[in-house]
Amino acid sequence: MDFSLSEEQRMLKDTVERLVRETYDFEKRQKIADSEEGFSREVWGQLAELGLLGVPFPEDFGGLGGGGIDLMIVGEAMGQGLVVEPYLATVVLGGGLVELLGSDTQKEEILGAVVGGEKLLAFAHGEPDSRYETAHVRATAEKVGGGWKLTGRKSVVLNGGEADTLIVSARVSGAHDDEDGIGLFLVGKDAANLKLHSTPAIDGTRVAEIALDGVEIAEDAVLGTPGACFHAIEEVLARAVILLSGEAVGAMNMAVDTTVEYLKTRKQFGKALSQFQVLQHRAVEMRIALEEARSLAILAAARLGEPRDVRELAVSAAKSGIGRHARFVGEQAVQLHGGIGMTWEVPVAHYTKRLVMLDHLFGDTDHHQERFATLSDAAA
Amino acid sequence: MDLNFTPEEQAFREEVRAFLQSDLPDDIRAKMKGGKRLVKDDYFRWHQALSKRGWLATNWPKEYGGPGWTPVQKHIFDEECYSAGGPRILPFGVNMVAPVIMKFGSQEQKDYYLPRILNLTDWWCQGYSEPGAGSDLASLRCSAVRDGDHYIVNGQKTWTTLGQYADHIFCLVRTDPDAAKPQQGISFLLIDMKTPGITVRPIILLDGEHEVNEVWFDDVKVPAENIVGEENKGWTYAKYLLTHERTGIANVGASKAAMLHLKAIARDQMKNGRPLIEDPLFRNRLAKVEIDLMALEMTNLRVLAEVQSGGAPGLESSILKIRGTEIRQELTDLARRALGPYALPFQSEALDGGFNGEPVGPDYAAPKAQQYFNMRKLSIYGGSNEIQKNIIAKAGLGL
């Protein structure tokens, strides 16, 4: 058993944390989140320059060949700075699908451009009534002539509006919730018969609603084998959960530290808030929640390369447990800050929003607790 | 980062399993699995088996007869013992008084007491708490007054776990009532329980069991050489004891065994014609505590790895104590609730090893409510969970 980071991982951690600490302060983050595009091309360029956009990809395609721990490290730094750049959508989800399913040509072209910071991707998978079910796909892909025609709706697509290319899931066979029968298709943002409505999300990120009304694409825009994409989707979502777990830990850490500092400085009834035992104990409970979240993040990250049943049990444990702990820390951070914690101007409010909204991505606490129960039964 | 145990550690696990298979007496294993009452002889035979193998004093350095295990090996050993149904190793001799004697005792004390702990000649109990000194231990009043070659001890200790089995008690006593701070007038004294003037009275706990006692001292003459270290420095030694070897504090092995047992009950109990484990509400309660247990295990392993590479756990010890006890309490709570109405019957005699009467309800039912009530102690003893939060607030967060 070994919990230490490798030399490469330590360097990765230093690099990404330094970037966030030195160039991504709260004011800058707020400006970026409020900007036209909702993220910074300059920051994206820096991420590319430092090699960070290639963390999970094999070295053959310009990547760093990183695994779960590396994703957790990147996520933690991003959580510390509440980074809004489309790393999850482009690198982890989009890039991950291309890496797992793409032809050599697709990998070379697309991953090369992703790593270089020249191409943004988004994974258009969720649908209006899919909630958190990974296999739920009602959008259809129909074989027409030398290509495919896509019809359906995709909802709350992370950074869909910013992407150059969307990776759209659509059904080629089976019932709407079958694992078999799901295909993935590369769709340009300017494709005909595609309607996209981008909105800000409450945590400073961006999401889009997408309508595909007979979008025609060529055969070479197919990713993987149509109908056999479920397992790659599940694996990429596991990576996404690991990145988000790291992000939650990073943001929780900031929320706890900020709150503890605030308790030491704010005075009421003639003494510092830190003198009140009821508040001390609440801060301690936040600190404990952070430690538990960190343990679960490490568990999921370290299990990424294991067989599916082991990996997914850890993923659901992490997503459920961290969802619960993150919400607790977020809510208590606001509570212990009192009125000022309710305002837009203080960082803690924005950490809290991210910590709570993380639970709405890729399955919430309840969803993964239920899924964990099923996976745990199967393992017994 | 690698969560897997090394091949050497795996081999060690196999060695422990083989030992438990051959040397843990079957009747004791059966009692543990059935939640039956253990008597002194059960503990004695189990400790004897461990002592013979050289595995009783798992925390002792090799020079004193310990096995020289790493923290991870100790963890594996604990986990396998609980999984096989081995009783806990009673800590009062091997893990409480022994480390203090090793660190602060005289050569004579080391030579005399340590071998007797290892070969089970002496049974120790702990004399810390008093009726007026619980979480605020430093306010203790039991006094020891020097009189020539002796101390004369007067006062009362309480919550003395398994004091009815013990022949020795290590006590914190007040030797300087006028010290500037209450912590400064306390000494650490070793007392033979057969000394005239000592009375042990049982305290029956809310589960109906005789687990703890009160111990009265009435002009008890204790040889002066029985003091450990220096007079009035006892608080320092007691604190050392509190920080010594806290990696087992999470009790992950016991909780993992309890989790498996709870699931077996939930598969057996029925609700609306289906196994309880399929009930959406109950299965989610199970999943939540299982996830918490996984997080606890990871935190524990992280602390072990840290200790193994030379670090000292700080606020993590308190975190492990708080969460370890909360999770274990939750498991006993769910086991009780899983039984439904059959948690109610209180058939104390059914917990005796020789019981061959008619069980009321399922054979696993009898001890569950008792265990639930007994386990309420976990968040009170060893520094209550609220005290642990004070420690984290002060030492960990600087509040």
pLDDT digits (tens, 9 = 90+) for A180-191: 999 999 999 999
* pLDDT score at B100: 96
* pLDDT score at B393: 97
* pLDDT score at B245: 56
* Closest CB to B298 among A298, A370, A372: A298
Domain A122-227: give its CATH superfamily. Answer: Butyryl-CoA Dehydrogenase, subunit A, domain 2 (2.40.110.10)
A336-379 tens-digit pLDDT: 999 999 999 999 999 999 999 999 999 999 999 999 999 998 88
- Please tell me the distance from the alpha carbon of residue B214 to that of residue B127, in angstroms, as a whole number: 9
Chain B hits for A260, CB-CB cut-off 8 Å, are 397-399
* pLDDT score at B244: 65
* pLDDT score at B248: 79
Distance from CA of A109 to the nearest CA of B (A): 32
Are A288 and B283 an interchain contact pair (Cβ–Cβ within 8 Å)?
Answer: no
A33-48 tens-digit pLDDT: 999 999 999 999 999 9
Chain B hits for A321, CB-CB cut-off 8 Å, are 291-292, 294-295
Residue A158's region, left for phi above 0, alpha for psi from -120 to 50, else beta, is beta
B222-249 tens-digit pLDDT: 999 999 999 999 999 998 887 665 667 8
Are B323 and A4 an interchain contact pair (Cβ–Cβ within 8 Å)?
Answer: no
Q: What is the DSSP letter of A192?
A: T
Is residue B189 helix, strand or coil? strand
Chain A hits for B6, CB-CB cut-off 8 Å, are 1
Contact of A99 with A90, CB cutoff 8 Å: no
* pLDDT score at B247: 62
Chain A hits for B2, CB-CB cut-off 8 Å, are 1-2, 302
Are B3 and A302 an interchain contact pair (Cβ–Cβ within 8 Å)?
Answer: yes
Percent of chain A with pLDDT over 70: 100
Q: Name the one residue in this structure whose structure tokens are 């699931």.
A: B263
H or E element in which residue B31 lies: helix B26-33
- Please tell me the distance from the alpha carbon of residue A120 to that of residue A103, in angstroms, as a whole number: 19
* Closest CB to B299 among A283, A292, A372: A292
Residue B365 in tokens: 């039912």
Would you list which residues of chain B are within 8 Å, Cβ to Cβ, of chain A? Answer: 1-6, 9, 72, 263, 277, 280, 283-284, 286-288, 290-292, 294-296, 298-299, 301-302, 304-306, 309, 315-316, 319, 322-323, 386, 389-390, 392-393, 396-399
- Could you tell me how far CA A2 lies from the centroid of its own chain? 26
* pLDDT score at B311: 83
Q: At residue A251, does pLDDT exceed 90?
A: yes
Q: How many CB pairs under 8 A join A and B?
A: 123
* pLDDT score at A380: 77
Q: What are phi and psi of B210, to 5 degrees?
A: -95, 90
Domain map (residue ranges) of chain A: 7-119, 122-227, 231-379
- Please tell me the distance from the alpha carbon of residue B252 to that of residue B239, in angstroms, as a whole number: 24
Task: Give which of A315, A304, A72, A3 is closest to B301, Cα–Cα.
Answer: A3
Chain A hits for B298, CB-CB cut-off 8 Å, are 295-296, 298-299
Are A296 and B298 an interchain contact pair (Cβ–Cβ within 8 Å)?
Answer: yes
Task: Give which of B101, B197, B96 is closest to B144, Cα–Cα.
Answer: B197
Q: What is the DSSP letter of A349?
A: H
H or E element in which residue A218 lies: strand A206-218
Are B390 and A277 an interchain contact pair (Cβ–Cβ within 8 Å)?
Answer: yes
User: How distant, in Å, are the alpha carbons of B10, B167, B217 from that of B192?
Assistant: 43, 6, 12
* Closest CB to A4 among B1, B283, B294: B1
* pLDDT score at B308: 86
A302 HSE (CA, 13 A, CB side): 18
Residue type, A154: K
Task: Give which of A166, A186, A184, A187 is closest to A229, Cα–Cα.
Answer: A184
* Closest CB to A295 among B4, B302, B306: B302
Is the complex ipTM more than 0.85? yes
pLDDT mean over A299-325: 98
With a cut of 50, which residues of chain B have pLDDT below it?
none
- Please tell me the distance from the alpha carbon of residue B82 to that of residue B76, in angstroms, as a whole number: 10
- Please tell me the distance from the alpha carbon of residue A282 to that of residue A266, in angstroms, as a whole number: 16
pLDDT mean over A12-18: 98
Collect all residues with Cβ–Cβ distance below 8 Å to A60 and sequence separation of at least 6.
Answer: none
Q: At residue A296, does pLDDT exceed 70?
A: yes
Residue A292 in tokens: 């538990």
User: How distant, in Å, are the alpha carbons of A105, A275, A287, A344, B238 from that of B394?
Assistant: 59, 10, 13, 31, 19
Q: What is the DSSP letter of A110?
A: I
- Please tell me the distance from the alpha carbon of residue B273 to that of residue A310, in angstroms, as a whole number: 31
- Taking CA–CA distances from B318, the nearest residue in chain A reads A288
* pLDDT score at A211: 98
* pLDDT score at B309: 87
Specify the CATH number for A7-119; select among 3.20.20.70, 1.10.1530.10, 1.10.260.40, 1.10.540.10. Answer: 1.10.540.10
Residues in chain A: 380
Question: Whole-number mean pLDDT of chain A?
Answer: 97
Residue type, B291: I
Residue type, B217: F
Contact of B159 with B174, CB cutoff 8 Å: no
Chain B hits for A288, CB-CB cut-off 8 Å, are 319, 322-323, 392
Strand partners, B227: B189
**Which pTM does this prediction carry?**
0.96
H or E element in which residue A379 lies: helix A365-379
* Closest CB to B392 among A287, A296, A314: A287
- Taking CA–CA distances from B292, the nearest residue in chain A reads A321
* Closest CB to A369 among B284, B386, B397: B284
Contact of A100 with A57, CB cutoff 8 Å: no
Interface test with B, best of A249, A258, A284, A322 (most B CBs within 10 A): A284
- Taking CA–CA distances from A9, the nearest residue in chain B reads B1
Q: What are phi and psi of B215, to 5 degrees?
A: -120, 125
Contact of A327 with A250, CB cutoff 8 Å: no
CATH of domain A231-379: 1.20.140.10
Structural domains in chain B, CATH included, are 7-89 (no CATH), 124-232 (2.40.110.10), 246-396 (1.20.140.10)
